[in-house]
Structure 1
Amino acid sequence: MPNVYGPTVDEQTRCIHYHGPTDIIAIKFHCCGKYYPCYQCHHACEEHEISVWNKAAFHQYAILCGVCGEELTINEYLHTKQCIHCRAPFNVGCKMHYHIYFEL
C-alpha cells in the first residue's frame, strides 16, 4: 500500500477529522502527489495550496481504498459508492468535498 500522510488513526486511512466506518479512502493530491485522508490533513502537513485534478486527468489512479489497498482511478471513484475491488462501502458524504479535489 502506498504511504498515506497526515494524522491517520488506523491502517484503513481514517484520520482525526474523518474516522467513521465508511471513511476508508485516501486521495492522492494533484499538487504534491501524496496520499492524504482528507483536505484538512493536507492543510496540516503541507505549506502549499491544493490544486484540483482536472477532468482530463480523471483516468489517473488517485484514490486508495484503505480496506484492500487497491487504487482506483478518479473516474472509477466518482461513479461508485463502494470499492470496485473489495466492495467496501465509501462515505457518500464525501461528495460534498469533491470540488476541493476534482474539477467538476
Structure 2
Amino acid sequence: MSDQPVRGVDVDHETRCAHYRTDRDVVSFKFDCCERYYPCFRCHEESTTHEAVPWPRARFDEPSVLCGVCGTELTVPGYLEADYSCPACDAAFNPGCANHAELYFETTGSSGE
C-alpha cells in the first residue's frame, strides 16, 4: 500500500480529480520525471513546471499504478493484466484510461516523449 500522496487538481480520497470524476476514475499513475502519483496527465500538466515523462519500460517491474480505493500499488504489467479492476479489492477502473496509456507508460512504439 502506498504512503505517497496523490497530487493534482481537486483530488478526492479515492484519487478522482477535477478532470475525471466518474465512479471508475480511481487509479493514479506515477510519472518517471518526478516519481509522484497523479490521477491524470492533465493534473500533472497543471501541477508541475516540467515536461511529463511516462513510466519507462525498463522500470515495469516497479509499482507505478495506484488503486485509489484500497491503496494497492501495481506494476504496469499487473495493471494491464487486471482487466480494468483492482486485483486486491476488485474496484472497477476506467477502461478509457487505455486511450491515454502512452502518456502514463511506455507502450509499444512509444518514444517516451
For 1:34, the aligned partner's letter is R
Query: Could you tell me the TM-score, scaled by structure 1's length?
Result: 0.94
Q: What RMSD in Å do the two structures reach over aligned CA positions?
A: 1.1
- 1:62 corresponds to 2:64: yes
Shift of 1:54: 2.1
* Aligned residue pairs, count: 104
Q: Is the 8 A contact 2:32 2:56 kept in 1?
A: no
1:51 corresponds in structure 2 to: 53
- Please give the TM-score of this superposition, normalised by the length of structure 2: 0.87
Q: CA deviation at 1:27?
A: 0.8
Task: Determine helix, strand or coil for the equivalent of 1:19.
Answer: coil
Q: Which runs of 5+ in 2 are unaligned?
A: 108-113
Moved over 3 A (4+): none
Structure 1, unaligned runs of 5 or more: none
Q: State the partner residue of 1:12.
A: 14
* Residue among 97, 100, 105 paired with 1:102: 105
Aligned twin of 2:86 = 83
The Cα shift of 1:12 comes to 0.1
| Identical positions, percent | 45
